[in-house]
Amino acid sequence: MTGSAAALRAHPLRFLITAWPWRSALWLLISAALMCLGVLLAVVPVYQWARVTTNAQLVFLFEGGFGLFWFVLAGLIAHQVPRILGQPVISPHPPTPLIPNRFGQRSIRWLRVIGAQVRSWRTLLSGVLFTVFGLVGAAVLVLVGLSIMLVFWQLPYSTGNLAYWLLAVPLLALEMYLWSVLALVGSAINRSVFGGTDAEFQLAEVTSSRARLADAFTAERKRIERDLHDGAQQRIVALQLKLGLAEAKLRELGLDSADATELIRQAQSDNRQVLRELRSLVRGIYPQVLTDRGLGPAIEEIASRAPIPTFVAIKIKRRLPESIETAAYFLVLEALTNACKHSGAGRIDIRAMTVAGQLHLEIIDDGSGGAVAAADGGLAGLADRAETVGGSLSISSPLGGGTTIRAVI
């Protein structure tokens, strides 16, 4: 249990001085507003209309259409309002990646998620319930308004008036509890429509926070890669240039004694080695080709560096969301590294293709097999990578029969 309900249960008295009662009031206010505004919008035009037209069917049609629109709208809002009470929003759809890519796929994804919600009957039903619950919300708000007026009219405010305080403070406290509990009741009804037990809600929360963490790690890797590229790498290249210029100048001045130029050349070759190491370090942190060209070329790039002959077949038509590209890339990289280290294979095959909106990956070697997924081993790490982006992994590795790793994301 989280949010408002947890706060109420843990410290019933302190609850009154937290933001939760006011958040609960906001929750009720939204449902009441939906109710009142809906009635207003449904009744007023029809009333005007009915005076000038005799076509009752048209009026019914309009009412039906408006009702449907209004309840779906209310349902979409109802899906988000648990946030106000600090409750997780459960979604049957995978979490949206935090880092938008260049083509605004994040917003397109949002549109698709909302589209799926609009078509769902749960949205409609919860919209109806949320709106109807607005009657309760409206009633509570009226009650609060009336009680305040009553206190004000009957007992004119004065700091010395003990009776005023004795009446007003407990009344307000009582009403705060009343509306907070009502908001929780409404939220529970809402939740029962969207389905899901506490465990499911927690799972939804954990899943989305895991995806956020993975995105954060990717962002961090990219930042480090950029820092190295803009910093150390460029300085060393500039140094290399200066050494080259120095050597050329010595030569120009006729001072190119063998040992002087030899020293410069040695420095340059040391520099080259540093750059080579830096490059392979940077590649391990976040490969530029993955950012620029996507998964296919990035996989080809790592395959071309593998010490065991590796053959790549890729059928991916378009760029995939960044979080998936990253997870798939590191999954293939680790699988390939494992195969090269342990399998003793003579040949490795990597296949990647998108089928019906899913990315299928296969890493097959013809080595000794017998690979097992230990809890902290590399293979378990592969499964983690797949699951982070909502995928799954299977490993088949009979002794002496090679190893096949399949992932579907």
Dihedral (Cα; 121, 122, 125, 130), 10-degree rounding:
-150
Contact between 272 and 240 under an 8 Å Cβ cutoff? The reply is: yes
Query: How does DSSP assign 97-155, residue by residue?
Result: PSS--TT-HHHHHHHHHHHHHHH-HHHHHHHHHHHHHHHHHHHHHHHHHHHHHHHHHHS
- Sheet of 348-355: strand order equals 310-315, 348-355, 358-365, 403-408, 392-396
Cβ proximity of 341 and 381 under 8 Å: no
Q: What is the DSSP letter of 404?
A: E
Minimum CB separation from other proteins for residue 317, in Å?
17
Nearer to other proteins, 120 or 261 (CB): 261
| Least distance between other proteins and beta carbon 239 (Å) | 8
| Shortest distance in whole angstroms from residue 356 CB to other proteins | 27
Rounded least distance, CB 214 to other proteins, Å: 22
State which residue, 74 or 333, has the beta carbon closest to other proteins.
333
Shortest Cβ distance from residue 266 to other proteins (Å)?
A: 13
Give me the least distance between CB of 221 and other proteins, in Å please: 15
Q: Which is nearer to other proteins, 104 or 309 (CB)?
A: 309
Structural contact between residues 198 and 90, judged by C-beta atoms closer than 8 angstroms: no
Task: Please state the closest distance from residue 20 (CB atom) to other proteins, in A.
Answer: 45
**In the complex, which residues of this chain contact other proteins (CB under 8 A)?**
102, 226, 229-230, 233-238, 240-245, 247-249, 251-252, 268, 271-272, 275, 279, 283, 288-289, 291-293, 297, 300-301, 304-305, 309-312
Contact 36, 136 (CB under 8 A): no
In the complex, the smallest distance separating the C-beta of residue 102 from other proteins, rounded to whole angstroms, is: 8
Query: In this structure, are strands 310-315 and 348-355 parallel, antiparallel, or unpaired?
Result: parallel
In this structure, is the dihedral angle defined by the CA atoms of residues 308, 309, 314 and 319, taken in order, positive or negative? positive
Residue with smaller CB distance to other proteins, 215 or 349:
349
Q: Which is nearer to other proteins, 112 or 223 (CB)?
A: 223
Distance CA 394, CA 90 (A): 28
Q: What ranges in 155-197 are assigned the alpha helix state H?
A: 162-194
Contact 298, 290 (CB under 8 A): yes
By C-beta, is 211 or 348 nearer to other proteins? 348
* Pick 85 or 364: Cβ nearer other proteins: 364
Rank residues 251 and 341 by Cβ distance to other proteins and give the closer one.
Answer: 251
